[in-house]
Amino acid sequence: MPLFLNAQDANFEADFAAFLGTKREDSPDVDAVVAEIIADVRARGDEAVIELTRKFDRFEVTAETIAFSKSEIDAECAKVSVEDAAALEMAAERIRAYHLRQMPEDASFTDDVGATLGWRWSAVSAAGLYVPGGLASYPSSVLMNAVPAKVAGVERLAICVPTPDGVCNPLVLFAARLAGVDTVYRIGGAQAIAALAYGTASIAPVDKITGPGNAFVAAAKRRVFGKVGIDMIAGPSEILVIADKHNNPDWIAVDLLSQAEHDESAQSILITDDADFGLQVVQAVEKRLETLERAKIAGPSWRDFGAVITVATLNDAVTLSDRIAPEHLEICVQDADAMAAKIKHAGAIFIGAFTPEAIGDYIGGPNHVLPTARSARFSSGLSVMDFLKRTTLSKMTPEALRAIGPSAERLAKSESLEAHGLSIRLRLDSLNE
Amino acid sequence: MPLFLNAQDANFEADFAAFLGTKREDSPDVDAVVAEIIADVRARGDEAVIELTRKFDRFEVTAETIAFSKSEIDAECAKVSVEDAAALEMAAERIRAYHLRQMPEDASFTDDVGATLGWRWSAVSAAGLYVPGGLASYPSSVLMNAVPAKVAGVERLAICVPTPDGVCNPLVLFAARLAGVDTVYRIGGAQAIAALAYGTASIAPVDKITGPGNAFVAAAKRRVFGKVGIDMIAGPSEILVIADKHNNPDWIAVDLLSQAEHDESAQSILITDDADFGLQVVQAVEKRLETLERAKIAGPSWRDFGAVITVATLNDAVTLSDRIAPEHLEICVQDADAMAAKIKHAGAIFIGAFTPEAIGDYIGGPNHVLPTARSARFSSGLSVMDFLKRTTLSKMTPEALRAIGPSAERLAKSESLEAHGLSIRLRLDSLNE
């Protein structure tokens, strides 16, 4: 059974705090192994990558075959059905349209002292995207990572996808081609992250690495951070649904299960102002679990980490939601827009009964890579900004320096930084000569 | 002597690559100690913080005195000279004006299928700023961290500043008051970072921690990352000056020294197309080092990590600069604007002979917290964005779901995520009833 909480109970505050603090993920400590793998790839390059791929993926690559050739990609893409291809194309187009709107603007302005200030955005030159193999090899994730990179203007975009026993997912290659990925390497694990960060004879280094992965990949990303940029380290998926009684309990049940089916550590929470409705949803979940293909994943997730919280008024739901800071928030109440406007901390909000979260996973347009584990309090989902960086620009005229230089010189002296002050003073003195 | 490189030498490529790879910082491995300190603060709260402050800062605090009182702050601020106060006020005003322009816009639009999409920016609720004590206790850094936080709309802003032996810098408190900081705690080190991240009885936890610090502070920030957001982990400062012969060698010399005087690990590089001019700058640096107050810091920095690179044409300087991806880039050539426009990777650019980098440290307006160690290839300086996060918004109509839902359902099936598909199918079916 999921956890049942009632916000009007005397011990709710303590129970809710304990619930917020629940650790859902047991990350195995693979850091020592990963450190060795990275050192090996740095020292031996391709040779190490080839050996590690043989060991972990039971697959033979060479420096020549480490990347899929164009004809191999075309052959795999030909296996994709017309219907799947059309669906991926619609998804790519909608994701591209949304992310194009995110592109930030450069600025340049001259202020009252005559200083010209501003900034300019530019793209990371090369990015590498990690795509997991096996069960969680999602073509949708390829689009969600690669499309923003291309929209941002990344010149060279590489993917690493492990192909255990040589098997790859044609949809992943199709999505990569669709998004304009330049190179797809058939390698995975910490060795792929190390190769992307440091480069080998056959793999050019990149400046930024994004994309999900297992504990080895996550540990490797943490280790190469600084040498290259990385995106967030995502935890298991979460959904919070706020729903009143004017909803079909079965719809809400499958929405909750759509996160639970991702991972036994995923979390699905319902907040409602109607205890009876809550029970109806719980019953509907149980019913669906009888037949759901992934019941063996969704069941434990729901029983171990699921929760139904009853509140006195829907306003209380907003307060609790902000404390949870959910990755996905679905709002199924009468005036869903008004409630959405009150939310401060959430990765993505899905507004109204006809916006199931799954729309956002595939085709809505916004990114599905979102902050988990309450990190929506301080971070955002993946966007074009992850593939851009800002250079600030300053240009003084002699007059501008005369106006503000003496204050800078004063502050430099107060911080005992003489050369700082001198670099201003010499110029000011030249104006008085 | 600094390193001399000539881009036309046969072995330049190898020498330049080795130069790029030079490690300037020996970070002591304090991770084990820091892990203990964090665990201690989590377990014992205030008690641990008080004990550690006694041990490291030789100073007695209590839960009541851990924060400066308003009257203490006012008393310290009264010690600040009228001139210093005016300089800090001008700096705060200019930094505020620049960062106000950075505020990103929300978006909401309805697309061709009738889906309403968009995003909304919101501020982090509470932020904590670390300010080092002692030698590197810079009021300018208080402004550069606190002003963007306030502009972003952070509701609660706390500072931790160690006060070894009870001594504090009145200018730091003045800058904090000026920037609208709510609370200043007189504690530092890893224990301050732990207290900000996890909270104690007398220190409320924050959502984001920014600001520079020593190896202990940096290791603590790395460790609490995930629990809270952090800014970058900054390395030693760097400047690259690109200058032609039409410059005063002494001006360029003090510009190079203005980074060198920060830290023995700082790096100052000159790229010029005139070897004679390069030598004149080197001579001017030597001359200045004879009298510079911080010659004992600036001298070793210049000799160990400084470099003068001669190029055949100034276009080659652009290429090399992008490979260095400097934190600070000063462009002192005839058409400085045109060269600045060609640069892809730099934290901040200072354009023209009347824009010494020190202007940007204090008063220009752009932030002085900038990416070091070549990370300008993939990251940006501190900005209001560090204190904001984006929530994406999606709202489907029944018609929108009818238009794009089937493609999402198709993709869910291709990824074997049945509940995802069902959450869309149930709604589509209801429309056909």
Q: Is the pLDDT of residue A64 over 80?
A: yes
Same domain, A332 and A427: no
Task: Judge contact between A35 and A170, C-beta under 8 A.
Answer: no
Residue A185 has pLDDT above 80, yes or no: yes
* pLDDT higher than threshold 70 for residue A135: no
Which of the listed residues B170, B197, B230 is the one where a domain comes to its end? B230
Mean pLDDT score across all residues of chain A? 96
Same domain flag for A192 and A214:
yes
Residue ranges of the binding site of B for Zn(2+): 259, 262, 361, 420
CA distance A245 to A292: 25
Query: Do B226 and B248 fall within a single domain?
Result: no
Both A186 and A266 in one domain: the answer is no
DSSP designation for A151: H
- CA end-to-end span of chain B: 84
Q: Is residue A279 part of a domain?
A: yes
Tokens matching residue B104: 């990103």
How far are the Cα atoms of A150, B131, B173, B412 from residue B178, in angstroms, in the given order? 42, 15, 8, 54
What pLDDT is stored for residue A72 in this prediction? 97
Per-residue pLDDT tens for A373-386? Answer: 999 999 999 999 99
Which CATH number belongs to the domain containing residue B416 in this structure? 1.20.5.1300
On the question of pLDDT at A190 being above 80, the answer is yes
Is the pLDDT at A280 greater than 70? The verdict is: yes
In which band, very low, low, confident or very high, does the pLDDT at A77 lie, cut at 50, 70 and 90?
A: very high
Residue A275 confidence (pLDDT) above 90: yes
Query: Do B418 and A350 count as a contact with CB atoms less than 8 A apart?
Result: no
User: Is B47 exposed, middle or buried, given 0-12, 13-18 or 19+ CB atoms closer than 10 A?
Assistant: middle
User: A224: distance to nearest CA of chain B, Å?
Assistant: 12
Q: Which of A379, A332, A384, A377 is nearest to A354 (CA)?
A: A332
Helix, strand, coil proportions of chain B in percent (round to 5)? 50, 15, 35
Which of A203, A230, A257 terminates a domain? The answer is A230
Which residues lie closer than 8 Å to A251 by C-beta, 6 or more apart? A332, A353, A356, B423, B426, B427
Q: Which two tokens stand for residue A145?
A: 């990572």
Question: Whole-angstrom Cα distance, residue A160 to residue A207?
Answer: 15
Interface test with B, best of A354, A404, A427 (most B CBs within 10 A): A354
Q: Is the pLDDT of residue A267 over 70?
A: yes
Q: Average pLDDT in the A165-181 region? A: 95
Residue A5 lies in a domain: no
> Does the annotation flag A231 for ligand binding?
no
- Residue B267's identity, in one-letter code, is Q
- Cα nearest neighbour of A364 on chain B: B394
The ranges of chain B with pLDDT < 50 are none
Q: What is the mean pLDDT of residues A255-284?
A: 97
- Residue in chain A lying closest to B233 (CA): A226
Angle (nearest 5°) at CA B392 between B144 and B120 = 50
Using a CB-CB distance cutoff of 8 angstroms, which residues of chain A are in contact with residue B352?
Answer: 395-396
A266 & A335 share domain: yes
Mean of the per-residue pLDDT values of chain B: 96
pLDDT in tens, A191-220: 999 999 999 999 999 999 999 888 899 999
Quote the minimal CA–CA distance from B289 to chain A in Å: 10
Same domain, A265 and A317: yes
Which range marks the domain in which residue B10 is found? 3-22+235-378
**Is residue A191 part of an annotated ligand binding site?**
yes
Residues A54 and A82 in one domain: yes
Q: Indicate whether A96 and A213 sit together in one domain.
A: yes
CB contact under 8 A, A377 and B359: no
For the cut 80, the answer to whether the pLDDT of residue A235 exceeds it is yes
- What digits encode the pLDDT tens for the residues B194-214? 999 999 999 999 999 999 988
Q: Is residue A187 part of a domain?
A: yes
What tokens appear for B276 in the block?
A: 């004679």
A5 to chain B nearest CA, in Å?
24
Q: Is the pLDDT of residue A279 over 80?
A: yes
Residue B94's domain is classified under what CATH number? 3.40.50.1980
| Residues shown for chain B | 433
Within a domain: residue B116? no
- pLDDT of residue A25 exceeding 80: no
Catalytic residue annotation of A: 327-328
Known binding-site residues of B for substrate equal 237, 259, 262, 328, 361, 415, 420
Determine, yes or no, domain membership for A387.
no
Tens-digit pLDDT profile for residues B139-148: 999 999 999 9
B198 and B59 part of one domain: yes
Provide the b/e sequence for A196-222 (b: ≥16 CB within 10 Å): bbbebebbeebbbbbbbbbbbbbbbbb
Put simply, the answer to whether B430 touches A248 (Cβ < 8 Å) is yes
Q: Which of B86, B367, B410 minimises the CB distance to A84?
A: B410
Residue by residue, DSSP assigns B22-44 as ---------HHHHHHHHHHHHHH
A133 and A225, same domain (yes or no) = yes
Residue B299 CB partners (closer than 8 Å, separation 6+): B260, B289
CB contact under 8 A, A233 and B254: no
Q: Listing from the earlier edge strand, what are the strands of the sheet with B183-185? A: B183-185, B156-160, B126-130, B208-210, B229-230
Residue that terminates a domain, selected from B167, B199, B230? B230
Rounded-to-integer distance, Cα B208 and Cα B206, Å: 6
pLDDT of A27 over the 80 cut: no
Q: Tell me, yes or no, whether A386 lies in a domain.
A: no
Q: How many CA atoms lie within 13 A of A175 on its CB side?
A: 31
Q: Rounded mean pLDDT of A408-428?
A: 97
Same domain, B71 and B207: yes
Using DSSP bridges, classify how beta strands A156-160 and A229-230 pair: parallel, antiparallel or unpaired.
unpaired
Most distant CA pair in chain B, distance: 89
Q: Is residue B71 domain-resident?
A: yes
ipTM for the complex shown? 0.96
Q: Which pLDDT does position A133 carry in this prediction? A: 83
pLDDT, position B232: 83
CB atoms closer than 10 angstroms to residue B125? 18
Q: What pLDDT shows up at residue B135?
A: 61
A359 within a domain of the structure (yes/no): yes
Assess whether B148 and B78 both reside in one domain: yes
- pLDDT over 90 for what percent of chain B? 91
Whether A157 contacts A150, CB under 8 Å: yes
pLDDT in tens, B45-72: 999 999 999 999 999 999 999 999 999 9
Q: Count up the domains in chain B and report the number.
A: 3
